[in-house]
Every structure is written in structure tokens, then in C-alpha cells.
Amino acid sequence: MTDKKSFSDLGAADPTTEPFWQACLEGRLIVQRCESCGVHQFYPRPFCLSCESGALEWVDASGTGTIYSLTTVRIPVSEELVPPYLLALVDLDEGPRLLTNIEAAQACIGDRVAVAWRARDGLPPLPVFKPAGR
């Protein structure tokens, strides 16, 4: 028996994403890496998008990247996300692209960012990004 909370049991994960959310509890951003071809990928899948191998491992990501695309959301979509807020695609230094929030008043495409963590009640913290160096 384990004391580890399963986010799959809460409906917040599935067996493929469970390791990601467990790492978030520890303040670690992880991505999958293919043991066959070496490509990193996110979001989690049961096979490599590059070579279709099932030999995937979880590895720590640096937590840094570059804003690829950015928009300001001005329409309320949930109580947790009060507009306006920045929504971005961030190219992680390892290669995968991640859809995330940028926690800053302003940001630009091409800006360097670093992972930060947004606490959530009853769920693991959510990886968000802040301008690097702040």
C-alpha cells in the first residue's frame, strides 16, 4: 500500500499523465523522452510521436523556454482565471511546446521564461511561466 495520492482516482489525470502530476507535486516539470530516438515530447502519450516507439521515459525539464505565441484573454472562462491574463505557447528548451499562462502584466513573443507554480485546492500545482530573471 502507498500513501501517494492518485490524481487518476480524482479524475484529474489518467495513467499516462499521472507521473507528470506527481512530479508537479514535487515542484518538478517533467517531459517524456524517447529511449529509441531521443526526442522529447509533451503532452504525455503512450508512444513517441517521432518514431512511434513505446520506449518512453520521464525526464526532468530545465523549466525554461521561449514564448512562441502569445495572446491576452479578456473573456472570463472560469472563476480561477480572472481576465485579462496572458496565454502562451512556450517552446521548452528541450523542444516540446507547452500551452500555459504567463504570470506577468506584459510579455512578448521571443521572451525567455521560467516555470513557476500556481497552487490549486485538492490538486497538484499547475506549471505556469514567468519572465526569466524575475
Q: Which residues contact 115 (CB under 8 A, 6 or more apart)?
A: 29, 61, 63, 64, 127, 128, 129
CA distance linking residue 82 with residue 79, whole number of Å = 6
Reported pTM: 0.88
Residue 126: CB atoms within 10 Å: 15
Contact 45, 22 (CB under 8 A): no
**pLDDT tens column, 74-95:** 999 988 889 999 999 999 999 9
Contact 29, 21 (CB under 8 A): no
pLDDT over 50 (residue 1): no
